[in-house]
Chains A and B, each alone.
Chain A
């Protein structure tokens, strides 16, 4: 060994190839730090799930003690969500959420998809370069501003005269406002889906003499259908979770009778939560009424999570497809 080493200065040892230890340590430290930042997201998820379900369980066990789980479905003659009276009729607020998100999809789906098709298939690059940013700015408008707009303009000046609702606020107004709010999202995801359709498919269609509109309807849309479905699901999920518009424009304040009529005032799950929280200055926070907030939150979380997971699967599949 010794005969090799000193005789030839070019013989290396592993020690020579270990590099600068200070830099090596820094690299390892940064690796750990960066990994920790990424792993933090798991911590946040665990915290969310843990707090939601622990508090929801506190509510449920309290409810069982007080009146039994049956209170979650009000069997009375005039059922409704009256948390201060210990009446937690889940169907009231779930129906409210379904009506509102249903209406918002009816608004956002055609508007968003239409806008996406126009931007992706028709607009010239220059037109697109200023139309699209406006749509994106619309996406940036805070939802509380939309709530104010629904409450002061959309409700009294448009929806009430148009549909003859009794009050300027209603589930219908909320649904329409949320629909406009999620339109940019719907447009953006749909446009991605349309953009993922290979150009060759369009060219093949043009090549056999099809018109642009025929190509869009018969070739591009069918090819992008799963992406568009994903866009719809994400929009529904977003509409379900939207809080401020519902809290301001759906008309009910903290309590509401069960209804299936969109022109009525009502409560969504999110509006019920916001209004429960708002009253919490007075209610201290330990009553069953306040804790119902966490239970509703847990249900809301599960609904949106399920929708998001489904949409995510679809988007992944589309990405692998092309």
Chain B
């Protein structure tokens, strides 16, 4: 009797020991630590980058104030500013909004709501996925040949119009793919309800499918705009000005849009290659100025990205709940 009781107790203890993990899983812990390190290392880069850039940019905003934002490109670090870059980038964003948003959303809606699974449809889908993977510098060639040279009578040559159209085409696949994805997530019941009371396909799409998919579509458009604002390579090929860009007072807006231009990423690229001689008055170098220009660009681009991510996560959570 006592013996069996003892045996029972010892086996119970053995079970308890094995359940609480008698010896710790050291290798498993190390494995997890290594994985976490990978993630943190990638993030650390982001933090160092931001820290470094912001620290270097603070004196610029301190000493130059708003004249940094209103000044023009030139060779004197005491005077130069990014106004032309901001203007160019805003124009590019405008082209993306006007061209890429409607066309991209329309194409995404077509692929998800209208297209029958034919060979042509599959080809269009494959084609769009591949377009999304074409290096941006190749789009620059397209812009140079087609919009700078071919359509010079419209664009005025190496102009912000040519750049805007090119970048609109560059981000088109992003908008198409995100639109198609968010439209796909719309429950079938919504469509059936619309068509069931005698709405046409388009009426159903306009009144029910698109409003339901709107947060996802908006996320895609914001990501696309951020991408277009940060792209430099195609602009280099189109011929954005990296050095000095003289202002021509009295230009009409069309003349200005058809004339020489630059954009924030190009300003950053140009200043990265400038000689680092401090300005006489402020003691600021082009490297400092460049850090400030990066802060201006990053503020817009990262804000758009962060908004898009937050919105997408809200959207996904709302749909699940």
Asked if A and B form a direct contact in the complex, defined as CB atoms under 8 angstroms apart, the reply is yes
Stretch in A1-9, A62-70, A111-119 touching the partner: A111-119
Shortest Cβ distance from B258 into chain A, in angstroms?
17
Question: Is B31 touching A274 in the complex (CB atoms < 8 A)?
Answer: no
**Residues of the A chain whose Cβ atoms lie less than 8 Å from the Cβ of B227:** 140
Shortest Cβ distance from A221 into chain B, in angstroms?
12
Interface centre among A24, A39, A111, A118 (most CB of B within 10 A): A118
Chain B 37-51 per-residue mask, 1 if CB under 8 angstroms from chain A, else 0: 111011101101100
Chain A interface: which size bin?
35 or more
Q: How far is the CA of A140 from the CA of B9 in the complex (A)?
A: 60
Q: How far is the CA of A213 from the CA of B126 in the complex (A)?
A: 37
Overall SS of chain A's interface: helix
Tell yes or no: A78 within 8 A of B by CB: no
**Residues of the A chain whose Cβ atoms lie less than 8 Å from the Cβ of B129:** 308, 312
Shortest Cβ distance from A232 into chain B, in angstroms?
14
**Residues of the B chain whose Cβ atoms lie less than 8 Å from the Cβ of A52:** 138, 141-142
Task: Across the interface, name the chain B residue whose C-beta is closest to A248.
Answer: B272
Tell yes or no: A207 within 8 A of B by CB: no
Q: How far is the CA of A237 from the CA of B304 in the complex (A)?
A: 26
Tell yes or no: B14 within 8 A of A by CB: no
**Residues of the B chain whose Cβ atoms lie less than 8 Å from the Cβ of A287:** none
Q: How far is the CA of A290 from the CA of B133 in the complex (A)?
A: 25
Question: Is A237 touching B133 in the complex (CB atoms < 8 A)?
Answer: yes
Question: Is A27 touching B232 in the complex (CB atoms < 8 A)?
Answer: no
Known: A38-B115, A213-B31. A244 touches B269 (CB 8 A): yes
Contact with B39, one of A40, A118, A148, A294 (Cβ below 8 angstroms): A118
Q: How far is the CA of A187 from the CA of B290 in the complex (A)?
A: 30
**Residues of the A chain whose Cβ atoms lie less than 8 Å from the Cβ of B58:** none
Shortest Cβ distance from A253 into chain B, in angstroms?
9
Question: Is A212 touching B28 in the complex (CB atoms < 8 A)?
Answer: yes
Question: Is B35 touching A114 in the complex (CB atoms < 8 A)?
Answer: yes
Shortest Cβ distance from B35 into chain A, in angstroms?
4
Chain B 252-294 per-residue mask, 1 if CB under 8 angstroms from chain A, else 0: 0000000000000100110011000000000000010010001
Interface residues of B (CB under 8 A from A): 25, 27-28, 31-32, 34-39, 41-43, 45-46, 48-49, 52-53, 102-104, 106-107, 109-111, 113-115, 123-124, 126-131, 133-142, 144-146, 169, 172-173, 176, 200-203, 223, 226-227, 229-233, 236-237, 239, 242, 265, 268-269, 272-273, 287, 290, 294, 297-298, 301-302, 304-306, 309-310, 313
Beyond contacts A27-B201, A41-B127, A237-B133: 9 other A-B pairs, Cβ-Cβ < 8 A, are A137-B302, A137-B306, A137-B309, A142-B297, A180-B42, A211-B25, A241-B135, A241-B137, A297-B141
